A and B are shown apart, each in its own frame.
Chain A
Amino acid sequence: MDANRVVSELARHRDGSGLLRGIPAIVLVATATIVPFFGLVANVLGAGDLFAVWRRPGVAGTAWFSIWMGAISTAVTLVIGLPAAWIVARHRFRGRDLIRAVLGAPFVLPTVVVGAAFLALVPGGRGLVAIVAAHTFFNVSVVLRTTTPVFSAIDDDLVDAARTLGADRIRTVRDVVWPLTRSAVIAAAGLVFVLSATSYGIVRILGSATRSTLDVEIYRRAIEFGDPSGAAALALVQAVVMLVVVTWSATRRGEPLTTLATGSRRRLPRVGVVYVTTLAVCMVLPIGALVTRSFRGAGGWTIAGWRAVFGHDHAGLTGVDLVGALGNSLRFAVIAAIVAVPLAILIARPRRNSRLVNLITSTPVAVSSVVVGLGILITYDVEPFDFRSAWWLIPAVHASVALPYALRSIAPLVARVPTGLGEAAATLGASPWRAWWSVELPLLRPALATATATSLAVSLGEFGATSLLTRRDTRTLPLLVESLLGRSGGVGNTAGSAAATLLLVLTGLVIVVLDRGLRT
């Protein structure tokens, strides 16, 4: 390669290689996830009781429950969610935008809110039915968000082309639609399984001694039974299995879609409209039940729950500091979003991205946040690395949990910005930086709004890691909700529902103001 070419290549790639741009994200994820995880691994290997804990009563059953409950939740979610995603992605009909918003909303709801809502909705409350229903409610929105961009990009003409070439309806789906959507559907399924099997906030509220996931067991061992080594042994096995599932499903490569089609021009059959409308109504039910529950006491309608949450009329409830929890939640969320969104922009360039960056930024999804919290407790307890009480620790963990979600909001759109636009900008005198600023960034604006809103919502709802890392002065709103709902008798359940409603409203505001406001 001659000197001229080297100079020119450097000039063209001044915006940095994929790996270089990924460094800030790698530092964050390494600090908040990877190093704690390896600290946890070292602890398990050092203690040498990787298998001892499995012989404790109930542990193996818990692991088995995580897997089959995760599989059932995934199957139910896909059966219900995929047709709905296909319909709202491709067809125009009256009320579509509203239905789409309702179906996609649970994704950003805090898990404790979902748990509290199904506790209020399902007769008898805790148990398998409530758990699977809650997971389906939550994960249909995950399916919707992961598959919609791909479903809507399938051009009618492409399907028609297959039909004119002699493919019947089934063969068209099998030989044209499936290869084009496969990677998105598999990625969605993998994500749903992992989210269900490692479910924590929902199961803390809706589970029982026999209906409990590994994540809840890990928390109990570490915090309630004072057995962090046993918890670590469980966490290791769980994390390895989940990492394999996520890596496998996220790296399935499908055929890239290059069309800019935005859905189908065909009319949607009536049954389709009825289906998605019914589903949307079902999505609203648990929320309605939650809000109602916050006004229901043992003796009928009451505002005692709300009064208790706001510190009046304690009615036997102690340690309720709503203002403190609210302040902590908001502060952590803002810091997490300010960190996560720019890092996501830096790495959201699939064309020249490094596989390493992709892998590292999906670990916060694969390694459940309870495992992360435990890893931090175990790893960062030695000077000079005793970060357990550092002010930035919880925000950093929230940012690293939010990062993959921010990335998922941005990356699909980045992939659809034609390369030619950047080249056109260059020929018009735009430096790589200005081309990015004045062409790519404006085209990404809707995605950036979504990424910011999602990051805030993820942080507001983060419960797993926070529940292990919290101290008296860093309690957040989700922790308050769980602790209130766990109190038997008195006004606890009503107050817990009220606090959950408050968290719900807060999250809703973030989404409506940011996601809807900044999109246009």
Chain B
Amino acid sequence: MSLDLVSIGVSIAGRRVLHDVSFSVPTGHTLAVRGPSGIGKSTLLRVVSGLLVADHGRVLIDGHDVTSVPTHRRSVGFVFQDSQLFPHLDVAGNIAFGLRMQRLERSHIDASVAEWLTRVGLADRAHQSVRTLSGGEQRRVALARALAPRPKVLLLDEPFSGLDNELRVRLAELVHDLLHDTDTTALLVTHDDDDVRRVADADHHLADLTDEPT
């Protein structure tokens, strides 16, 4: 599933955050968008996911215009910077959430959850409360939760921030492998060049994606 952004423009509280941003990500590729914090990288992800409506421009997934499709029908996975795990659900419950929203059969959901638990190395933690997980484990749950419903596009917002270097490398490799195994199109925003190198097929500085210089 390809992802195309056409002339996206966003102003928040009168300040222009994104100005005519356009780019394409081919199916199965991972594009990294770099740039210092505060220049609108997260805003870009919110626009792609539909959590934020752009002032102008269009978002196309797999060639279809989804600009006016609400978030829950866009089929985009989102790994939030602070994970945003559901505190009332255990590890398995978090991973199952998106599958439950698709009203899949129980047996199918259970099988898929088990598979994802193994993939992210948390098979023995299925029924543990997410509150008791370490930072790295929480990120892995967030990753599995976002990928389990097989989204058309995966959005990663600084997915490795706040982790120590060793964890960071291991998690980045995991993300890289999972994206390749599942042939998922992904958009990664980060300010870290090492992250880009480890995960992405291509990368751009956000400023370079603007059609005309600001």
Interface residues of A (CB under 8 A from B): 2, 4-5, 7-9, 11-12, 418, 420-421, 423-432, 434-435, 438-439, 442-443
Contact = CB atoms under 8 A, between A and B. Distances in A.
B23 interface: no
B146 A420 contact: no
Nearest to A445: B88
A12 B80 contact: no
Interface string B115-133: 0000000000000000000
Given A434-B101, A438-B97, A426 B71 contact: yes
A7 B65 CA distance: 13
User: Of B70, B71, B84, B86, which is in contact with the most chain A CB atoms at under 10 Å from its CB?
Assistant: B71
Interface stretch (B27-35, B46-54, B170-178, B199-207): B46-54
B186 interface: no
A134 B120 CA distance: 60
A448 to B, nearest CB: 13
Given A420-B84, A428-B101, A434-B101, A2 B56 contact: yes
Interface string B17-57: 00000000000000000000000000000000111011110
A56 to B, nearest CB: 58
B87 interface: yes
A421 B53 contact: no
A9 B68 CA distance: 8
A426 B53 contact: no
Contact of A429 (B67, B84, B101): B101
Nearest to B77: A427
Given A2-B56, A8-B67, A429-B149, A423 B72 contact: no
Contacts of B71: 12, 423, 426-427
A338 to B, nearest CB: 25
Contacts of B68: 4-5, 7-8, 11
A421 B145 CA distance: 13
Nearest to B142: A424
B160 interface: no
Contacts of B97: 425, 428, 430, 438
Contacts of A8: 50, 53, 67-70
Secondary structure at the B interface, as helix, strand, loop or mixed, is loop
Nearest to B75: A429
- 5 interchain residue pairs of minimum CB distance: A428-B98, A429-B101, A427-B78, A426-B71, A11-B70
B165 interface: no
Interface string B143-178: 001100100000100000000000000000000000
A4 B145 CA distance: 30
Task: Give the interface residue-count category, chain B.
Answer: 35 or more
B64 interface: no
Given A8-B70, A429-B73, A443 B98 contact: no
B102 interface: yes
B1 to A, nearest CB: 15
A424 B70 contact: no
B76 interface: yes
Contacts of B102: 429
Given A5-B53, A426-B51, 6 more contacts: A4-B68, A8-B67, A8-B68, A11-B68, A426-B49, A438-B97
Contacts of B149: 428-429
A137 to B, nearest CB: 36
Contacts of A426: 49-51, 70-72
A423 B86 CA distance: 11
B90 interface: no
B18 to A, nearest CB: 15
A4 B67 contact: yes
B82 interface: yes
B88 A423 contact: no
Contacts of B88: 439, 442-443
B32 to A, nearest CB: 20
